Chains A and B, each alone.
Chain A
Amino acid sequence: MDTIEDIFESSLNLEETHFQQGYDEGYADGLISGKEEGREVGLKTGFEVGEELGFYRGCVDVWSSAIRVDPNCISIRIQKTIKQMDDLLHKYPISEPENEAVSDIIDSLRLKFRAICASLNVKLEYSGYPKASDAGNIEF
C-alpha cells in the first residue's frame, strides 16, 4: 500500500512541488536584487540628504563667521534663526534614516533657510530643493 501511494504521490503533488521550487528560486533571486536595489536607493538618497545638509552647513558657517567679524551686520532676529539652523544641523540624526524626526528637521531647515535669504535679500538656492508647488497647479 505504502509503496503504491508513494509512486503516485510525486505525480499527484507535481503542481505543489513545482510551485515550491519556483518560489524558493524566486525568493533567492529577490533577496539578491532587492539588496542591490536597496543599496542603490540608499546611496542615492544618502548622497542627496548629505548634499542638502552640507549646503546648509556651508551657508550657516559663512553667516556665522560674518557675525563673528561684525555682530551688527545681521539683525538679531536673523542671527537667532541662523543659530536655530546650526542647532538643527547638529541635531540631524545622519546615521538613523528611519528616525521620524528626519523629515521635521529637514522641513524646518528649508523654511528657516528661505526666511533668512528673504531677509538678507540674497538669492541662494539649493539646486536639489524640491519645489513646493506642482507644475500642474492652476494659475489664478
Chain B
Amino acid sequence: MNFADEDYELKEVQRLEGHTDRVWGLAWKPAAGVDGVPSVLASCSGDKTVRIWEQSASTGSFQCKAVLEDTHNRTVRSCAWSPSGKLLATASFDATTAIWENVGGDFDCVSTLEGHENEVKSVSWNASGSLLATCGRDKSVWIWEVLPHNEFECVSVLQGHTQDVKMVQWHPSMDILFSCSYDNTIKVWSEDGDNDDWHCVQTLGESNSGHTSTVWALSFNASGDKMVSCSDDLTIKVWGTDIKRMQSGDGNVTWTHLSTLSGYHDRTIFSVHWSRDGIISSGAADDAIRLFVENEDGSVDQPSYKLLLKKEKAHDMDINSVQWSSMENRRLASASDDGTVKIWELGSSLGQKKQSM
C-alpha cells in the first residue's frame, strides 16, 4: 500500500470513560465487527476490572456492556481474546491469570491459572487457541495447554530472562513464542520435536543491534515475516526472518535486525502495534500517538520507515497501549494513564486540501 501521496489525519471518534484508574491494556475481539457482528473491545485497568465495550449497530458508538470485577484483587495488566473470541484471558498483578467465558452477554470466570510467584504482566494465545503463554515479574515465561472443559495444564516453565518479563506474544501463524524484558532483550522460544521440550532458540540483544534498555512490547506484521519492538531506549526496531524456511520446519531460522526508527521519540515507548495493512502505531510516555509506514521509494536492500503522522496530546497522560482493530482497517484504540480509552479513525485529509487549491 502506498501512503506517499496523501495527507493523513487521526480523528478521535470516541472517548470511553468508566475506568477509575490507569488503563493498561486493550484487546479487540477477533471475528467481530463484520457481517452484522458488532465490534467489541476489552480494556483492563489499575482499578482491578476489565471493561467490555461494544459498538452499537444503530448509533455506531461504543458502550460499556460488561464490567468484569471481583475476581482480580490487584491491577489487571493485560488481556487477550482467544482466536475464536469465546474466551478472554486476563493477567493480573495478583499473580493469577483468569479465563472468562463469554456466554450470551455475560462473562463468567471459568478458570484461574496460578503458578507465577508474583505479578503477571502479559498473556497471549497462539494462532490456533490451543496454547496460552504468560510472563511476569518472577522472570519466567509459562506455557499452558488449553484442554476441554476449560481446563489448563502447564506445559513448560521457561527461565532465561534475567529480569522482569514485560510481554509475551505468539507468532501469528506458527507456534513460536516471543518474550521481551526489562533485561533489554527479546527471546524466541520454540518446541523441540513434539515433546513439551520448549527452549530459547534466540536472544535478540545489544550484540544483535538490539535494544539498550527495557523492551516494552512487540508486534508482528500480517504475513509474520517481520516483527516490530519498542523500548525505553526511545527507538522502535524492525526485525525480519525467512518465513518460508521457518514454515517448512527449519528450526534454525533466526531473526535479524532490519531497521531502527530513532529520533522520533523523546520519552519511553510503551506500546507498538502493526496493522494488517502495514501501518506501525506507537504509544509513548509523551502522550502522543505516532504512525509509521515503510518507505516505498527507498532503493536500499533494507526496508526503511517514515513517520506518517504524529498525534500530539492524544491523551492527557502516558499511553500504555495502542491496538489496531482486527477488522476495521483504519480503526485504532488507545489506552492511557489518564483512565480513558480512545477510538480513532485514520482518514485522508486530501479531500479538504484539493478544495482549497
Contacts and interface: CB of A to CB of B under 8 A. Distances in A.
Given A111-B159, A118-B142, A139-B137, A132 B153 contact: no
Contact of B155 (A77, A107, A117, A121): A77
Contact of B113 (A111, A112, A118, A133): A118
Contacts of B119: 139
A111 B140 CA distance: 9
Contacts, number: 58
B326 to A, nearest CB: 27
B164 A137 contact: yes
Interface string A101-140: 0000001000110111111010100000001110001110
Contacts of A53: none
10 contacts: A80-B196, A81-B196, A111-B157, A117-B115, A118-B114, A118-B142, A132-B138, A132-B139, A133-B117, A133-B138
A117 B113 CA distance: 11
B47 to A, nearest CB: 15
Nearest to A118: B115
B156 A115 contact: yes
Contacts of B156: 111, 115
A78 interface: yes
A17 interface: no
A114 B159 CA distance: 12
Interface residues of B, number: 25
B154 A132 contact: no
A119 B117 CA distance: 15
A10 interface: no
Contact of A115 (B138, B154, B164): B154
Contacts of B157: 111-112, 114-115, 118
Nearest to B158: A111
B259 interface: no
Nearest to B155: A77
A81 B119 CA distance: 25
The 5 closest A-B pairs by CB, nearest first: A118-B115, A115-B154, A118-B154, A111-B157, A132-B138
B155 A133 contact: no
